[in-house]
Every structure is written in structure tokens, then in C-alpha cells.
Amino acid sequence: MTSPTIYDVARAAGVATSTVSRAFSNPQRVSAPTRELVVQVAAELGYSPNPHARALTSRRTQTIAMVVSDITNPHFFEIIRGAELRAKASAHTLVLVNAEESPRIEREQINRLSRSVDGFLLAASRLPEDDLVELAGSHALVMVNRQVPGIPGVVLDQREGCRQLVTHLASLGHTSLAYLTGPRESWMAASRWAAIRDAAAEAGMTAVRMGPFTPRVTHGAAAADAALTTGATALIAHNDLLAIGVLQRLAARSVRVPDDVSVTGFDDIFAAELCTPSLTTLGGTHVNLGRAAVELLLEAADAPRRPGAAAQHLVLPSQLVLRDSTGLARGRRGPA
Amino acid sequence: MTSPTIYDVARAAGVATSTVSRAFSNPQRVSAPTRELVVQVAAELGYSPNPHARALTSRRTQTIAMVVSDITNPHFFEIIRGAELRAKASAHTLVLVNAEESPRIEREQINRLSRSVDGFLLAASRLPEDDLVELAGSHALVMVNRQVPGIPGVVLDQREGCRQLVTHLASLGHTSLAYLTGPRESWMAASRWAAIRDAAAEAGMTAVRMGPFTPRVTHGAAAADAALTTGATALIAHNDLLAIGVLQRLAARSVRVPDDVSVTGFDDIFAAELCTPSLTTLGGTHVNLGRAAVELLLEAADAPRRPGAAAQHLVLPSQLVLRDSTGLARGRRGPA
DNA sequence: AACATCATGGCAACTGCTTGCCGCTCGGAT
DNA sequence: ATCCGAGCGGCAAGCAGTTGCCATGATGTT
């Protein structure tokens, strides 16, 4: 009934338990013939190592936790999917944690899991930078879509992406834009605004920031209303969900998109190409974000705290997806 | 540096390690004053139990695995979210596994995790029933959106939901429908077809089944083309993704929806209300599916194999969401 | 007063695997 | 012939808890 242990295998193979152990966890430490014998006997007995016993002494759990700030946001799912795929490829288990946009929950869950996992993937973490630095001291950490000095991370290129986005709007004749920003704690929101502002200045556009808004569809109404008061003809929403909510509100208020105002989002979620009008958005291959993040984490866990080596920061390309929600600025229609 | 153990706590509190252990894992086994002392000393020392050491002897891991057949499908997000929420509420950890529509991967991953988790949530499992029954013999199992005799599970009510859906179509004057079915291994697909067929017969409609189709947007084209050959005026796609693909193909072929044909889906994913035309679909609160599934699993893990008690099957209500993709059958327009 | 019962704390064996250290063997260098 | 080191297997002490069993004293019973 109860599953076999290394003792059973050792006895059956006529070797010591340490040999069995090594045959599995440190194969090159054992001669080929012995290893094969052990492996074969183990297979016959249906032995497989107990992960908890293994973790107890070795402190390696083959498990990584992914903490997302809000599991409700479909854009995370691509990241999660990429992470799961990559983790599975390395025989690692992926634990999923939803921080529900709460720094407190985020912190609690990290503490709770700190013994059970090899490291954390923090996606769009809402924790203050100090906390993160402190955590990084005792845990392997990889940030996703947030840059923290000294902590490895992967992000989608915002600077360049935002520049393209703003340039696109400028080329359509827009001269003023409004950025509908996300949560106060969101590093992404700050980073996007900085990039947008700079790009706007460069393109000779005026840029204002409104918000913060909770980046959900339902909060698009408030965002749209606020944006309209600015007179801006180009609205850049913090993400696609908010943008879709904005589109809905504009439609309800009979503001035509893109004839009266242009609207853009971020993330290129699945729904972005289905909504009406379809949404111009700054996307990128989020699957790769997840994948790369796991990769970084596995490296970090292997070579823990190599002191000299700076924390790796990967910047993956974003890409501007042009759809129907952006068009010539008002008054720029027809033959120039 | 290294975190304190029960030994440290025991020494500091002047009690035996067993007392410390019990104070945490079996509080009523220890008198209130002693327990409080231990808890307080533990707090001062920053002690928290090592989950692996705990799991090693007790065989309880406070972890549950959720295996989904295809993480790509947004409809699972909601289920996952519900499960995560409920698991967290009981201080359990949720492990996420993507079976990538492959029974082999599904089986492998279950085996791999069998020692590390208290039980499995199998969402839309593609495993043959025999395998499931066998697994249920050695693991706590809860099926999500699949019914297997003898194994507890939660499903959204298909029979009643499909009846409503078909009745809705009949009331619009449709007399023939086509069901664009999902994967061969999908229990859901079979179950839906059975319910649709019966309801159609009851309503005096003819019903044909086409497929199987992979339930993704990209496969909607083939599904639409196949459906059109049948002459049916009402198309019921296996899920919303497929339905959206069908809508796109129909638009490309200039078939008007709902004027020429009506289209419906299942799941009521976020995109269903955004696509054009918006999609009539059979939804339900998937969050609750996830939540209920975890609940059942926790129960099952608590009272393992109570022999007399039949496996619990929960049937949650589905709900028909009427949108713009269904309308009067061709020739039924205008005043009757 | 004698005895059964119960709540409580401690002892120690046990969970299944890892790993530092030791010692043997054997090939090659001296 | 001697020495050295590499390669390999074994010993045994952990890792951090859990839990069956026992001893003790307090409480209850008749």
C-alpha cells in the first residue's frame, strides 16, 4: 500500500541508501552501472522520491510561486501560462497566488510560502521598493513588469513602446493627449506616464495625466468622463480593460471613436481585437515574459547571490498593434 | 540566520517539543495557558512551522492542485480564480497545472504531484473514466465540469441550460440547429449534445452535430463552413471561443448574424459581450464552480473515503445570457 | 477511602531523504 | 615497488516536525 522508499530500493538493489539517493539526485556521483541498476530496480518497485523528505534536507523544493497583483486581469493569464509552461519543462511546480491588489495580502502570502518554494515571481507587485529589497535578501526573487534596482526582472519595453504609441498619435494630427493612469502603487503606471510625457514633449504634444483609476472595465466610465473634460483628442488608458470601459462610456455619450477622440490601451488582451471599435494597444508577447521570468528565477536559484554579478534585467520588446480606435484627429479628416 | 525550529521554541518556553508541535497542529490537545505561552514565545522568536517537515510525517500538505485541460481558454480563469480564493481562505496553496489538452501530460503531472498535494481538482479532464476511477482510489479527487460516477464533482447545469437555449431558439422560429461539438474526449461536449438533442426533439426541431472542432477562435472558420452546409439557421458552438471564430468567419462570408443565422456559445467569457454582434451564450458563475470544487475537496480530504457516503455531486445553475447574436429565424422577420 | 477516568505534558521512535566524511580500490606517475 | 589521487560506495548524523504511548496529577464516582 504505502509507496517504496530508498530503503526498499537499496535493499532490493543490494546497495546503500546513499547510493540510491545519489543515483537520483546527483547521478554523476555514482558509476554508470550502479546507477542503471538502481534506476531499474527503482522502476520495478515503482519508487519515486518523496518531494517533502527531499526538500527537508536539501532545501530545494522544485516549486516556484507566482504572485500576481490581480488575477482578474486577463493579461496576467498569458504571463501565467508562459511561466507554467517553462516551469513544467524544468520539472518545477507552479504555485499561483492572487494578491487581490492588496500589498498586505501580497506580503502575507509571500511569508506563508517562503519555506515551500524556491523563489517568487512577482508580477506587477504592489509592494513598496524597500520591502522588495528586503525580501530579495532572503529569497530568490524575479520581478515581472516592474523594475527594482538590484533585483532581477523582466519587463516589456515601455519607453520605446510608449514613444511609438505617442508618435503614432502625433502622426494622426493629435496635439493633446490624456493618460488615464492606473493604481498609485503601480510601477507600470508611473513608468508609462514618464515615457508618455517625454515622448509627447518630443513630439510637441501636450500631455496630462488623470486618475488614478482602478484598471477595470467598470471604471472606464469615470475615466472617460474625466478625460473629456481635458479636451484631449487622444486618450491613453492604463490598460485594455480600462480602455474598453472608456470605449463603452464614449459610445454611451455619443462620442465617436476614432472620429471625435482616439483611444488606446496597453497589453493587447484577447478582447482588444473584438471590442467595437477594435482597440489600438501596446502589446507584446506576454507568454515570453512568464517564460523568461521563470528562466531568470531558475538561474538565480542555482547560483544564489553571486555577489559581483549585477541583477539581470531583461527588456522584451513591446509592439504597437494598430486597430480601429485610433484615427485622424478631429478636423484632420478628408483631403489634407 | 536560519529560522527557529520547535526545539528553539521548546527550550525558550521550557516545554517539550511535542508540546510545541501540538500547540500549533492540534491546539485542543494542550491546555490553554500552555498553548498561549508557546504561541507567544514562538511569535517572539519568529517561529513558523516548516511545511515540509510537517508534510513528511503527517502527510498533509495544505496544498491542492488544479489541473486544467487548457489554460488558454479564458473560461478557466474564473474557475481558477474561485479556487484560488477559496483555497487561500483555508490557508491552502493552489498549484496550477496545464494539461495542454493532452491526457498523457495530465496523467504525468498528476503522478508527479501525487505526493505533494492533498488532492486534485480536475477541470474538464480529458482522462478516460477508468483512469479517473483508479486515481480516485488513491487520491482525493474532485471533478470540475465533468461527471464521473463515484467521484465527487461540480458542474454547471447543462441539461436545463441547454433546454433553455434550445427553447429560446425555437421561440425565435428556428426549426433546425447544428451543434458544433468540441473535443472527442470532452465529457462536456457529449453531455451538451445529449441535452441539445433531447431538447430539440422536444421542441420539434431537427438537430445535427458537426465536428469535433478544437474549441479555439481559429477553428471557428472550419466550424462555420461545416455548419452552413447543413442549412441550419441556428448554430450552437461548443464554447464562446469557437462561437467567436464562427462569427468572424460568417462576417467574412457575408452571412449576417442574426438575420441569416443565429449563433450561440457556452461559458459567457468576457469577450462574449464585446464581440460583434455580442454573443448569446449559456453562462454561469464560474467563480463559484472553483470555490465549490475546493470546498468539496477539503471535505473529501478531511473525511477520506467514508465508505457509505455517496460521492457528492453539485450542480450549479447555468444561465442563459441573451445578446445580439440570436434573432428571429430567416423569413420570420417583420410582422407575422 | 478507594478506584476509575480524564486531561495534560514528555519521551522517543519515526517520516524519507541528503550529505559530509571516511575508506577502499585501482590506474598512473615516480 | 611505492605513492598519489581520483572515483566510488557506505556510514551515520542530520533535516524539522508528528504521534503513539506512558506517567502524572487532578477530578469524579460510589
Are A68 and A99 within 8 A, CB to CB? yes
Q: Nearest nt to B30, CA vs C1'?
A: C8
Q: What is the predicted pLDDT for the residue at B334?
A: 45
Q: Are A56 and B53 a contacting pair at CB < 8 A?
A: yes
Q: Is B50 on the interface with A (CB under 8 A)?
A: yes
Q: Is A243 on the interface with B (CB under 8 A)?
A: no
Q: Nearest residue to nucleotide D9 when comparing alpha carbons to its C1'?
A: A19
Q: What is the predicted pLDDT for the residue at A74?
A: 86
Give B336's pLDDT tier (boundaries 50, 70, 90): very low
Dist. CA A251–CA A262, nearest whole Å: 12
Q: Do domains B6-49 and B63-156+288-316 have the same CATH topology?
A: no
Average pLDDT over residues B27-43: 92
Q: Among chain A residues 33 through 52, which have CB within 7 angstroms of nucleic chain C? A: 47-50
Average pLDDT over residues B198-203: 96
Are A326 and A169 within 8 A, CB to CB? yes
Are A218 and A245 within 8 A, CB to CB? yes
Interatomic CA–C1' length for residue A55 and nucleotide C2, angstroms? 55
Please name the residues in contact with B217: beta carbons below 8 A apart, sequence gap of 6 or more. B241, B242, B244, B245, B248
A143 φ, ψ to 5°?
A: -85, 140
With b meaning 16 or more CB within 10 Å and e meaning fewer, what string describes A230-253?
bebbbbbbbbbbbbbbbbbbbeee
- Span B219-261, pLDDT tens digits: 999 999 999 999 999 999 999 999 999 999 999 999 999 999 9
Tell me the nearest-neighbour CA distance from B118 into chain A, angstroms.
Answer: 13
Tell me the nearest-neighbour CA distance from B161 into chain A, angstroms.
Answer: 25
Residues 247-276 on A with a CB inside 8 Å of B are 270-271, 274-276
The 3-state DSSP class for residue B264 equals strand
Average pLDDT of the residues of chain B? 92
Q: What is the predicted pLDDT for the residue at B152?
A: 94
Q: Are A52 and B88 a contacting pair at CB < 8 A?
A: no
In this complex, the answer to whether residue A11 has its CB under 7 A from any atom of chain C, a nucleic strand, is: no
If you count residue pairs, one on A and one on B, with CB atoms under 8 Å apart, how many are there? 103
C-alpha grid cell, residue B195? 441535452
Q: Which residues of the protein are close to the nucleic strand D, CB under 7 angstroms? A: A 14-19, 28, 30-34, 53, 56-57; B 2-3, 5-7, 17-18, 21-22, 24-26, 47-50, 53-54, 56-58
Question: Is 3.10.20.600 the CATH number for B63-156+288-316?
Answer: no
Dist. CA B61–CA B119, nearest whole Å: 9
Q: Are B80 and A88 a contacting pair at CB < 8 A?
A: no
Cβ contacts of B81 on chain A, cutoff 8 Å: 71-72, 98
Are B67 and B113 within 8 A, CB to CB? no
Dist. CA A312–CA B192, nearest whole Å: 50
Give B335's pLDDT tier (boundaries 50, 70, 90): very low
- Determine which of A58, A64, A68, A96 to mutate to test the interface with B (most B C-beta atoms within 10 Å): A96
- The interaxial angle of helices B240-252 and B220-230, nearest 10 deg, is 70
Q: What is the predicted pLDDT for the residue at B53?
A: 94
Tell me the nearest-neighbour CA distance from B202 into chain A, angstroms.
Answer: 35
Question: Residue B327: what residue type?
Answer: G
Burial class of residue B285 (count of CB atoms within 10 Å of its CB; 0-12, 13-18, 19+): middle
Q: Is A7 on the interface with B (CB under 8 A)?
A: no
Q: Is B51 on the interface with A (CB under 8 A)?
A: yes
Q: Are A96 and B91 a contacting pair at CB < 8 A?
A: no
User: Considering only the top CATH level, what class is A159-284?
Assistant: alpha beta
The dihedral over CA atoms of A106, A107, A113, A117, expressed in degrees to the nearest 10, equals 80
Cβ contacts of A69 on chain B, cutoff 8 Å: none
Are B114 and B137 within 8 A, CB to CB? no
Out of 3.40.190.10, 1.10.1040.10, 3.40.50.1950, 3.40.50.2300, select the CATH number for domain B158-285: 3.40.50.2300
- Identify the H or E element spanning B140: strand B140-144
Residues 114-173 on B with a CB inside 8 Å of A are 115-116
What CATH code would you report for A63-156+286-317?
A: 3.40.50.2300
A218 φ, ψ to 5°?
A: -65, -20
- Span B51-107, pLDDT tens digits: 999 999 988 899 999 999 988 888 898 999 999 999 999 999 999 999 998 999 999
- Determine which of A1, A6, A48, A52 to mutate to test the interface with B (most B C-beta atoms within 10 Å): A52
In this complex, the answer to whether residue B33 has its CB under 7 A from any atom of chain C, a nucleic strand, is: yes
Q: Are A115 and B84 a contacting pair at CB < 8 A?
A: no
Please name the residues in contact with B63: beta carbons below 8 A apart, sequence gap of 6 or more. A95, A116, B92, B93, B94, B95, B116, B117, B118
Are B152 and B119 within 8 A, CB to CB? no
Segment-wise mean pLDDT, segments of 10 residues, chain A, 336 residues: 87 93 91 92 93 92 94 89 95 94 94 93 94 92 94 94 97 97 92 97 96 94 96 96 97 95 96 95 95 94 62 93 94 50
Question: Residue B66: what residue type?
Answer: M
Q: What is the predicted pLDDT for the residue at A334?
A: 45
Q: Where are the domains of chain B?
A: 6-49, 63-156+288-316, 158-285
Interatomic CA–C1' length for residue B16 and nucleotide D24, angstroms? 15
Tell me the nearest-neighbour CA distance from A275 into chain B, angstroms.
Answer: 5
Average pLDDT over residues B254-283: 96
Q: Is A313 on the interface with B (CB under 8 A)?
A: no
Q: Is B181 on the interface with A (CB under 8 A)?
A: no
Interatomic CA–C1' length for residue A43 and nucleotide C13, angstroms? 30
Q: What is the predicted pLDDT for the residue at A3?
A: 85
Q: Is B313 on the interface with A (CB under 8 A)?
A: no
Closest partner CB to B95 (pick from A72, A93, A270)? A93
Please name the residues in contact with A156: beta carbons below 8 A apart, sequence gap of 6 or more. A145, A284, A286, A289, A315, A316, A317, A318
CA proximity to A78, closest of A327, A305, A288: A288
Q: Which residue has the higher pLDDT, B44 or B309?
A: B44
What CATH code would you report for B6-49?
A: 1.10.260.40
